[in-house]
Structure 1
Amino acid sequence: MMERVRKSQWGNLLAHGGLQRDVSFDSRESANDLVNRTLEINAQRVDEVAPGEKDRAYFTTRFGYRTGREAYITKDGVMYMRNTYGVAIYIVRDRRSSRGYHVQSAFPYNEGD
């Protein structure tokens, strides 16, 4: 993870400002469980997208325990690993899905910086 952030920092600095962080759930099972729990906790937001009231939604949930790991680089260029304690999800309306939406992106998350 850290190497990918380091390479991106220098390789894409001019084009995109570099990658500031790279995150990963601890396992596929953990990712699946945390995403499902985040969807349940944010059921009201999901229920706005599923029937088509809204086209998309982004939401986060903070848990009281580790949700993954993050390679992070500060504005001063210092790189380190840290635990994440939340999950961020982006869902979009999908008429083809029986649920009425699909998860476009979901990842471990820390608030701030």
Structure 2
Amino acid sequence: MEGEDSEASRQTPKDTHRTAHPRRSPTARIGDAQRQHLPTAPRQQTLAARTRRNAPMPMITVDMREGRTAEQKRVLVQRLTDAFVETCDCPPDGVWIVLRDVSTENWAIGGRLQSDGPADA
């Protein structure tokens, strides 16, 4: 009998000894019935609310080799914005653009770093 008591004490329901994981949010342990009462604000709806037509916000990312002037970048972002507004029917303030200048030592084509110069023919 004594062996049965010790084995029974080891077989506790999983929920009785569950602790919150340090990286999880406090709501990670909330049951489905409680979860339905939490306020929700999905990221897409929040970003879309910033535009006049409730269209999803486009994010344009341009990776290019370094060396362009600030004026060239101004013209590029204006033209990208204009093209997106005309093509996708969204407001200009809803178009986000990120320009990333990449050095030749971080740019490779065909398995060869561009900083190493042209490939031998």
TM-score tier after normalising by the smaller chain length: under 0.3
Higher relative contact order (Cα pairs below 8 Å, separated by 6+ residues): 1
More strand by percentage: 1
TM-score by length of 1: 0.26
TM-score by length of 2: 0.25
